[in-house]
Each structure stands twice: as C-alpha cells, then as structure tokens.
Amino acid sequence: MNKAEILIIDDEPQIRKLLEINLESNNYKVWQAENAKEGILMAANHPPELILLDLGLPDKSGHEVLKELRTWYNKSIIILSVINNEKDIVQALDNGATDYLTKPFRNAELLARIRSAIRRNQTDNTESKKVCGDLEIDFVSRTVKRNQEILKLTATEYNLLLLFAKNEGRVLTHQYILKEIWGIGAQLETQYLRVFVGTLRKKIEQNQNQPLHIITESGVGYRFE
C-alpha cells in the first residue's frame, strides 16, 4: 500500500470527491480543504506527503497560497486548475509548484505525476549515484554512462543534466534553468538554453527527436524523466 497522505485544496465539491475516489482506490490517504485558510491550517497541523492545489480559491489566490506554503512546506505541490495560460503556469512553477495539470485531466496521468512527485520527496539528496533507465549519473566522479558507456559531456552539459536529475519529474521553467546554470542575467536567453538542451539530447537520448529523458513542456520549460 502507498499510505502516503495527500491534501486536496479545492473549492469544488465534485472535484474533491472525484479525486478522493481515485486516490483512495490507489491506497492514498486523502484530506480535503475547501478554501485557502482551511488548507493552510491543515497543512501546518499535519503536513502531508503531497498537496493538490487549485488556483481559483474563494478566499485567496492559489498563487498566494503557494507562496505562503513554500515559506515552510518543502514537499511536492501539484497545481490542478482550469487556468491554462502560459503566464499562470510559469508563475506557479517559478513560485515553487512541483507540477501543473489543467482540468479536466486524465486520472492515469495525475497518478503518474503524483508517483513521480512522491519519489522526488523521498530521494536522498546525499545520494552518490542516480540511475534513470539507460542512464547512470555518478555525482561523485561527475561521470555519465548510457548503456554502460561513458559519455563525454562538457561542464555546462553535465551541470544541466545534474539540475534535471536532481529535479526528476518536476517541470523546470526556462527562466529557472537559465538562472541556475548561467545566472540571473541570462533569464531571457531561451534560445541559448534550447541549443544546449539539443546538444545534451544528442548525447543522452537514443532518438533526440523522440526524447525519453528530457521532455519539452511547450512554452514553459522541460521535465526530466
């Protein structure tokens, strides 16, 4: 059994009920809050393994709730919202959301995103090695292997791959990646990032046109799987 506890913060009773049935049938323990105040209080009193947060709450913007939670809550927060514009998606991800799904969503996809987010919670940040399918990343020796063959990566390519691997399953915005790898002054250089992702894909993907590891989130950023 999963037994992981998930808090749903959403003002729509039918959505909460649908999520409750779906999650409990997959052995998750579910808590529910119908507004921001109740959700923040529940999260503070009994921090769950993961939070599903709606942006359109009646008493406070979901963006405000996200920023408030991120001052102390360090586990995964997945946004579930009918809002499907690039500005809100990027804002939520930059403010610390682990992932973003628009309503209506497919149950199978939501469950996959939840599993990925919970695995990320449970990853030991002191791990010395990470295996992702046919890739093996050794953080100590700074070597990367694909199918047991060592890949020759530049320092920037390695740092980019490291950032992705440390955030497995999480959508990273263009601006976040650029700031982390090249500094705050490079946050508008999305074409620069696109070039480096392309060269990295050539080295780590079996087919760079159908990548299995570095997945493009159109208009937003990338996700590492």
The alpha carbon torsion through 195, 200, 205, 206 (nearest 10 deg) reads 80
User: Which amino acid type is present at position 198?
Assistant: G
176 with 91, same domain? Answer: no
Classify the C-alpha dihedral 186-69-89-130 as positive or negative. Answer: positive
CA dist., res. 209 & res. 221, Å (int): 17
117 with 147, same domain? Answer: no
105 with 14, same domain? Answer: yes
Residue 93, domain CATH = 3.40.50.2300
Q: Which of 82, 107, 122 is the last residue of a domain?
A: 122
Own/partner pairs, 38-47, CB within 8 angstroms, 24+ separation? 38/9, 39/7, 39/9, 39/65, 40/65, 40/68, 40/69, 42/7, 43/7, 43/69, 43/73, 44/72, 46/5, 47/73, 47/75
71 with 150, same domain? Answer: no
Per residue of the chain (225 residues), give pLDDT as tens. Answer: 457 999 999 999 999 999 999 999 999 999 999 999 999 999 999 999 999 999 999 999 999 999 999 888 988 999 999 988 888 998 998 888 989 999 988 999 999 999 888 877 766 555 678 888 888 998 888 889 999 999 998 888 998 999 998 888 888 999 889 888 887 777 677 888 889 999 999 999 988 888 999 999 988 999 998
105 with 38, same domain? Answer: yes
CA dist., res. 166 & res. 100, Å (int): 18
Query: Which of 74, 101, 56, 214 minimizes the C-alpha distance to 65?
Result: 56
11 with 115, same domain? Answer: yes
Residue-range definition of the domain harbouring residue 95: 5-122
Residue 139, domain CATH = 1.10.10.10
86 with 140, same domain? Answer: no
- Whether 43 and 73 have beta carbons less than 8 Å apart is answered as yes
pLDDT (0 to 100) of residue 120: 75
List, for residues 186-208, the tens digit of each pLDDT value: 767 788 888 999 999 999 998 88
Q: Which of 70, 96, 122 is the last residue of a domain?
A: 122
**What is the pairing mode between strands 135-138 and 129-132?**
antiparallel
Q: Which of 76, 102, 122 is the last residue of a domain?
A: 122
138 with 102, same domain? Answer: no
20 with 108, same domain? Answer: yes
User: Which amino acid type is present at position 84?
Assistant: N
81 with 168, same domain? Answer: no
141 with 42, same domain? Answer: no
82 with 171, same domain? Answer: no
Burial (CB < 10 A; 0-12, 13-18, 19+), residue 131, is exposed
Q: How many domains does the chain have?
A: 2
Classify the C-alpha dihedral 141-145-150-155 as positive or negative. Answer: negative
